[in-house]
Amino acid sequence: VEEDPLGSMKAINGHIVANAADFFSYQTPTDFRLEKRHPQLFPTNVRPETLAKDALWKANAEEGLIEEAEFLRFTSAVRTKYPENDQVNARWYPASAHQDPKRPKQAIIVMPQWNADAFSHNVLCDLFNKFGVSALRLSKPYHDIRRPAELERSDYAVSSNIGRTIEAVRQAVVDVRSCIDWLQSQGYTHFGVLGTSLGSEYAFLSAAFDERLKVCAFNHASTSFGDVVWQGQSTRHVRAAFEEAGMSREDVRACFEAISPKNYMEQFARVKDRQTLVVYATYDLTFPLEFSLEVLRNFEQRGIPHTPKVLPCGHYVVGEKPYAWLDGWYLGTFVYRAFKRLRTAG
């Protein structure tokens, strides 16, 4: 390893791809519990308006002006050197009991983008509740309440530390699968996953290795983790570190093969009755268009049923009006119809 660390890292990635089922396997946690507390923002920037929002929210919580929320907590089956990161957190949005007791209980796991604060995507969970679908809004590794004290952003999730980045992906996948285990213990039978940007990467790999996920919404998508790191504007600092170390694009791609969706298309394709949405943006500089289109080509080549939707904007503009409304429409209508089809299919 000391003589050829790059070659060793490439070999490790090859070994993981060849033994991926073992790599993403896990033991179901035994300490599932619901915790009540006031929601916190956990901001990821120091803009005055963000800090003011955080301060106001904390003040309102202290004065009892906001209600407590429920959070699913458990110890991740993948352990890191950061104890706070290993305590999984998912805000619980249970749908109201349906008047028909025979109606299947349905739930979706929601994962926002990289560096999202703790309120991102919560509005989608409220929307899904209106459809009769419960939601777990999962805090990704190193995000919001799981963020180590020395960080202001979720930098450990994606960085030039290749091993830690791969470990974070593995942990995210295992955490999603563990959430499904808990949902099953609560009587749920239909499961979906929605991810945005980095959350989409986690969502795809979770579905590739867990056949219980029958509804998948990928909000931004790419085939190669390394190519996004190399070309994406959000990871320019990561690329700079790799370049300083003398690594090429091909090197970076090879060092992230273990967590690249293109290597697990066959696993994903095994579930023939899975419903999949892919939303991509024409002018995306973080998940470049060519990689999103490559996802669609891979799906088409393997006969994977999917619904493509395009947004005429860039990556981060998706979070701004009017594009946020259009994106919400795509995601909401797909999730509503997909779970309805599951119910009617029996």
Instruction: Please report the domains of the chain, with CATH numbers, ordered by start residue.
Output: 5-25+77-345 (3.40.50.1820)
Instruction: Please report the pLDDT score of residue 159 as a whole number.
Output: 96
As a whole number of angstroms, the distance between CA 199 and CA 179 comes to 15
Give yes or no for a contact between 276 and 304, defined as CB atoms under 8 angstroms apart.
yes
Reply yes or no: is the peptide bond before residue 322 cis, omega within 30 of 0: yes
The pTM of this model reads: 0.95
CA 209, CA 232: separation in Å to the nearest integer?
Answer: 26
Nearest by Cα to 124 from 196, 73, 178, 191: 196
What are the pLDDT digits (tens) for 282-331?
A: 998 999 999 999 999 999 999 999 999 999 998 888 888 899 999 999 99
How many other CB atoms are there within 10 angstroms of residue 79's CB atom? 12
Q: Model confidence at 76, in pLDDT bands (50, 70, 90)?
A: very high
Q: Which DSSP state fits 98? A: P
1, pLDDT greater than 60: no
Whether the predicted pLDDT of 271 surpasses 70: yes
Q: What pLDDT, on the 0 to 100 scale, is given for residue 164?
A: 97
Q: What is the pLDDT of residue 43?
A: 86
Tokens of 15: 């070994």
Tell me how far apart the alpha carbons of residues 54 and 60 are, in angstroms, rounded to a whole number: 10
Classify 93 as helix, strand or coil.
Answer: strand
Are 112 and 320 in contact by the 8 Å Cβ rule? The answer is: no
Task: Assess whether pLDDT exceeds 80 at residue 72.
Answer: yes
Q: Are 123 and 20 in contact (CB under 8 A)?
A: no
Q: Is the pLDDT of residue 252 over 70?
A: yes
Cα angle 98-193-272, degrees, rounded to a multiple of 5: 95
Residue 162 — very low, low, confident or very high, per pLDDT cuts 50/70/90? very high
DSSP label of 144: G
Find the distance separating the first CA and the last CA of the chain, reported in whole Å: 53
* Over residues 253-280, mean pLDDT: 97
The predicted structure's pLDDT at residue 2: 64
